[in-house]
Amino acid sequence: MFGRLGFDALPHDPVTIGGVVGGGLAVLGVVAAMTYFKKWGWLWRNWLTSLDPKKIGIMYIAVAVIMLLRGLADAAMLRAQQAIFATSASSPISPDLFQQVFSAHGTIMIFFVAMGVIFGLINLILPLQIGARDVAFPLLNSISFWLFVAGMVLINVSLALGEFSAAGWLAYPPLSGLEYSPGTGIDYWIWSLQIAGVGSLLSGVNFLVTIFTMRRKGMTLMKMPIFVWSVLGSMLLVAFAFPILTATLAMLSLDRTLGMHFFTSDLGGNPMMYVNLIWAWGHPEVYILILPAFGIFSEIVATYSRKKLFGYKSMVWAILAITVLSFTVWLHHFFTMGAGANVNAFFGIMTMIIAIPTGVKVFNWIFTMYKGKVSFKTPMLWFMGFAVTFTIGGVTGVLMAVPGIDYQMHNSLFLVAHFHNMIIGGVLFGVFAGITYWWPKFAGFRLHEGLGKAAFWCWLFGFWFAFIPLYILGFMGAVRRLDSYDPSLGWQGLFIVAGLGVMLILLGVFFQVVQVAYSIWKRKELAVGSDPWDGRTLEWATSTPVAEYNFAHLDAVQDRDAFWAAKQSKTKASTKFTDIALPKNTGTGAYVGAAAFVIGFAVIWHIWWLALLALLVLVGIVIASTLREDEDTEMIITAAEVAATEKRLRGAGA
Amino acid sequence: MSELIEAQKARLYRTTIGFWVYLMTDCLLFASLFATYAVLRTATAGGPGAADIFELPLALTETIILLVSSFTCGLMLLGLQAKNRRQVIVAMALTYALGVAFLAIEIGEFAKFVAEGHSWQQSAFLSAFFTLVGTHGLHILFGLLWLVVMLVVVVRRGLTPKVTRQLTIFGLFWHFLDLVWIFIFTVVYLLGVAS
Ligand code: HEM
Ligand SMILES: [Cu+2]
C-alpha cells in the first residue's frame, strides 16, 4: 500500500530530529499565524495564483532566501565538524549524516538558492527593462515557479521522511546506483532536481521567447540593456544544457527503479558516461548563474558612475563568447579520469580561453568607473568586493585548468575554495547588489545604507577568513568531503579559522535580515520616488510601486539607455490611455506543482498507485487549462482605470 | 476589432516561436539519448546485439506509417489555413489512427523482446534501446492524447483562435517526431542490422 514507506522512515539521530523539529515548528508557526490573521485567502488570491512576473519574482526570491538559511545551517554544521569534532573520537554528526549534509548543502545552494534568486531577479527586471507588460507565456511562468517549489519541498521532506543522498551534489555512479545506495536518498535527489529542472527549462524557453518577441518597439538587439543580453546568454544555456540534465537524471532513475544498466558497473553499464553527461550540463550551469550576475553589475556600475557602460559591444561579444565556449570545457572537471594527454590539453586550453572574455568584462567595468562620478552606495561596494574576489577566484581556476596541476588539486579543498570564490564572490555578491539596487523600485523605499554596508564588510571578510584557509589546506593535501583527519597533520588551526570566517558570514546575514526588517519599519523615512538612483534603463521609467501593467504607454524607444535619453530630452508622457489586457489569476500553476510533488514523492517511495493517480490528475489539470479559451484567461483593464492608477501612482502632475 | 486580430497574430507568432525553442530543447534531450545509445550500442554483455533481434520489415512499416501520418497532419494544417473544419477533423482522425497503429506495432515489438527474455534489464545496449525508442514512443503517446483533446474542441467549438494555435504547433510537433524517428530508423535499425 505505501511502498517502502513505514515508520522506520522517521529520523533516528538527534541532529536530524532537531532539524526536523525546528523546521517543523517554524512552518507550523507560519501556518498558525496565517490562519489566525485569516490571511490564506489573501495569499492565494494576491500571490500564489498570480501570473504577474513581479509577484512571481518576489516569491522566487522569498523561497531562495529561506533556502539560503537552510544551506548556511548545513555549511555551519560541516564547518563545525571539521573544526571541532574531526579529530575527536565521537561527534554528534555521524559520518553518514555528514555526507548527507554536504550533498544537501551543495544541491540546495545551487538549485534552490542560486537558481531561485536568479530566476527571481529575471522575473522582476527583464520585462521592465525591455519595456514589456508581461512575459511571453505567463501561465508557463507560474508553472515553472511551482515546479521549483515542488522540488524545494521534496528536498526538505527528505529530512523528515527517509534520508537524503550521501553521494555529493552530483551523485556519481556507481556510488549513486542501487547497489551502493539502496535507500531513498538518491531518489530524493533525482526527483527534486528533475522536477525543479523541468521548471528551469520551461523558464528558459519562456524568457528566450520574451526577449525575442516582447521587446518594445525600437529596441533592436544592440539597444537592449546589458542585463537583458546576459539573461539571453544565460537562458540559451538553460535551453541547451537542461535537457541533458533531464535525460541524465532520467537514465539514473531508470537504472534504480527499472533495473536498467546505463551507469551500473555490470552488464555493460558505463559510469564514466554519467560523469561526462552531468558535466556537459554542469559546466554551462555555472555560467547560467554567473552571466546574469555580470549583467546586474553592468547595470549597477553604469548607474552609479553616471556614465554609459564602457564597451557595450565588447560586452555583448563577451557574453556570446562565454555562452558558446561554456559547452567546450566540461572535461576540466575530470582531468584525472584518464581521458589521455591530448584530450586533457584541449580542454585545458579551452578553459583558459574562456577566461579571456571574462577578463574583458572586468576591464569594461573598471573603465566605466574611470572618470565617472562614482557614488559608493552599497551595491557599488558589492561590486568592488566582487571585482577583487571574483578575479582571484578566476586566477585559481585558470591554475587548475592546467591538467598537470589539476592532478594535484583535484578534489582537494583548494577546489572547494575556488568554486566558492566564484559562486559567493560572483553570484551571491551579484544578487545582493541587485536586490539592494532594485529594491526601491518594488518596495517604494530603499534599504538602510549603514546596515547594508555592515553586512557587506562581514560577508567580504567572512568569506576570506572562511576560504583562504581552504586554499592552504588544499595545498597541504586535505581532500574535500572530509569528516575526520589525524590531529598530527596540524590542520585543525586552519579549519578553526575557516569556522570563524563562517561565523562572520553569519553575522553578515544577520545584518541583512536586520537591514530588511529595519528598513520596513522605517519605510517612511527611507521612502524614495520612482527613480532614486537616476537610472538609465526602462525599469526606472515606471511608477513606484510598479503598476500591474508596468507601462501605460508603449512608446518606441530610440536609445540604448532609453530612460536616460528620455530624461535628457524631457519628453512628457501623454495623458491618453487605452485598454490593457492582462492574464487573469489562475491556480493551475499551484496544482501542477502539487501534482508533480506527489508524483516525485510516490516514485521515491515506490507507491505506484499514487504516482499513477497523481499523473492522471496532472494530465487532467493540463487538459482543463488547454480547454480554456483566450477570453477566459484574460482580463481587461479599461482606459479609465489606467488613468486613475497612473494618477494615483505618479501624482497629479505626471 | 483590428486590434483584436493584431493581438491574435502576435499570440500565434509567440506561440510558434516558443514551440520552436521547445523543440530545440527536445532535440537536445534526444541527442543525449542518441549519444548514450551510440556509446552503449556494443555493450551487449553476452546478450543479443542489434543485428540479432531487430527486424527491418517491422521498422520499415513503422516508418511508412509515421511518414503517412505526417502527410495527413499536413492536410490538417492546410485545412486549418482554408478554415475548412471538415477537412481538419478528417485529417485529425486519420493522423490519430496512424499514430495508434504505429504505437501498437512498437508495443508489440517491445513485448516480443521482453517475452524472448531480452528486456531492458539484460544489458546496457538493451537499456539504451528501450529508453531511446521508448522516449520517442512516449512523445507519440502524448501527441495522440493532445490530438484527441483538440479533436473534441474542434468538433464542439469549431476553429477557435486558441485551438488554431495549438493545431499549428501540433503540426510542428508531429513533423519533429517524424524526423526523430527517421534518425532512430537509421541509427538504431538500419545501422544496427548492418553491423
Ligand atoms: C555562504 C557560505 C558557504 C559556506 C560557509 C560553505 C561551506 C561549504 C563547505 C564546508 C562545503 C564542504 C566542503 C568539503 O567538501 O569539505 C561546501 C561544499 C559545497 N558548497 Fe558551499 N558554502 C557556502 C556557500 C555556498 C553557495 C552559495 C553555494 C552555491 C550556490 C555552495 C555550493 C557548494 C557545493 C556545490 C558544494 C559541494 C558539495 C559536494 O561536495 O558535493 N556553497 N560548502
Ligand atoms: Cu567547469
User: Average pLDDT for residues A248-264, to the nearest whole number?
Assistant: 97
Whether A201 has its CB under 8 Å from any CB of chain B: the answer is yes
**Cβ of A604: how many Cβ atoms within 10 Å?**
28
- Packing angle of the helix pair A413-422, A449-476 (nearest 10 deg): 160
Instruction: Kindly provide the ipTM of the predicted complex, given to two decimals.
Output: 0.97
CA angle A109, A320, B169 (to 5 degrees): 85
Taking only the tens place, the pLDDT of each residue in A115-124 is 999 999 999 9
**Residues of chain B falling short of pLDDT 70:** 1
Read off the pLDDT band of A171 (50, 70, 90). Answer: very high
Q: Note whether A580 and A133 are within 8 A (CB).
A: yes
Q: Note whether A386 and A425 are within 8 A (CB).
A: yes
Q: Note whether A263 and A271 are within 8 A (CB).
A: yes
pLDDT of residue A558: 87
Taking only the tens place, the pLDDT of each residue in A312-332 is 999 999 999 999 999 999 999
Residue at B48 is within a domain:
no
Q: Please, which residues have CB within 8 angstroms of residue A344's CB and are 6 or more apart in sequence? A: A331, A335, A403
Residue at B69 is within a domain:
yes
Query: Omega into A292 within 30° of 0, i.e. cis?
Result: no
Is 50 exceeded by the pLDDT of residue A194? yes
Answer whether A113 contacts ligand 1 (Cβ < 6 A).
yes
HSE-up (13 A, CA, CB side) for residue A84: 12
Whether B87 has its CB under 8 Å from any CB of chain A: the answer is no
* One-character DSSP codes across B75-119: HHHHHHHTT-HHHHHHHHHHHHHHHHHHHHHHHHHHHHHHHTT--
Instruction: Supply the pTM of this predicted model.
Output: 0.96
Is 80 exceeded by the pLDDT of residue A573? no
Among residues A616, A536, A477, the alpha carbon closest in space to that of A304 is found at: A536
Give dist(CA A556, CA A547) in Å, integer: 19
Taking only the tens place, the pLDDT of each residue in B167-195 is 999 999 999 999 999 999 999 999 999 87
Whether B7 has its CB under 8 Å from any CB of chain A: the answer is yes
Residue A634 phi, psi dihedral angles, 5° rounding: -120, 150
User: Average pLDDT for residues A288-300, to the nearest whole number?
Assistant: 97
Looking at residue A582, the DSSP 8-state letter turns out to be E
Residue B121 and residue A204: Cβ atoms within 8 Å? Answer: no
> Count of A–B CB contacts within 8 Å?
118
Q: Give the three-class secondary structure for A583.
A: strand
Is 50 exceeded by the pLDDT of residue A652? no
- Looking at the 3D structure of chain B, how many domains does it have? 1
Residue at B92 is within a domain:
yes
Is 80 exceeded by the pLDDT of residue A232? yes
Answer whether A114 contacts ligand 1 (Cβ < 6 A).
yes
Answer whether A148 contacts ligand 1 (Cβ < 6 A).
no
pLDDT of residue A269: 96
C-alpha cell at A515: 537591514
Give the CATH number of the domain where residue B79 resides: 1.20.120.80
Q: Which atom of ligand 1 is nearest the CA belonging to A79?
A: 10
pLDDT of residue A442: 94
Taking only the tens place, the pLDDT of each residue in A65-110 is 999 999 999 999 999 999 999 888 888 999 999 999 999 999 999 9
Q: Note whether B193 and B50 are within 8 A (CB).
A: yes
User: Percentage of chain A with pLDDT > 90?
Assistant: 89
Q: From ligand 2's centre to the CA of A106, what distance in Å?
A: 15
Which residue range(s) make up the domain with B142? 2-42+53-194
Answer whether A415 contacts ligand 1 (Cβ < 6 A).
no
Q: Please, which residues have CB within 8 angstroms of residue A567's CB and are 6 or more apart in sequence? A: none
Whether B120 has its CB under 8 Å from any CB of chain A: the answer is yes
Cα nearest neighbour of B29 on chain A: A243
Residue A213 and residue B10: Cβ atoms within 8 Å? Answer: yes
Residue at B47 is within a domain:
no
Looking at residue A527, the DSSP 8-state letter turns out to be B
Q: From ligand 1's centre to the CA of A171, what distance in Å?
A: 15
User: Average pLDDT for residues A252-281, to the nearest whole number?
Assistant: 96
**Which residue has a Cα nearest atom 37 of ligand 1?**
A106
Residue of A102, A103, A189 best suited for mutating to test ligand 1, as the one with most atoms within 8 Å of CB: A102
Q: How far is A612 from chain B (nearest CA, A)?
A: 15
Residue at B181 is within a domain:
yes
Q: Reduce the secondary structure of A237-278 to three states and give it as a string.
A: HHHHHHHHHHHHHHHHHHHHHHCCCCCCCCCCCCHHHHHHHH
- Packing angle of the helix pair A185-213, A588-604 (nearest 10 deg): 150
pLDDT of residue A480: 96
Answer whether A143 contacts ligand 1 (Cβ < 6 A).
no
**Nearest ligand to the C-alpha of residue A278?**
2
Is 70 exceeded by the pLDDT of residue A653? no
Give dist(CA A68, CA A427) in Å, integer: 13
What is the enclosing helix (H) or strand (E) of A636?
strand A634-637
* One-character DSSP codes across A493-510: HHHHHHHHHHHHHHHHHH
Whether B25 has its CB under 8 Å from any CB of chain A: the answer is yes
pLDDT of residue B1: 53
Q: Please state, rounded to an integer, the average pLDDT across all residues of chain A.
A: 95
Q: From ligand 1's centre to the CA of A110, what distance in Å?
A: 9
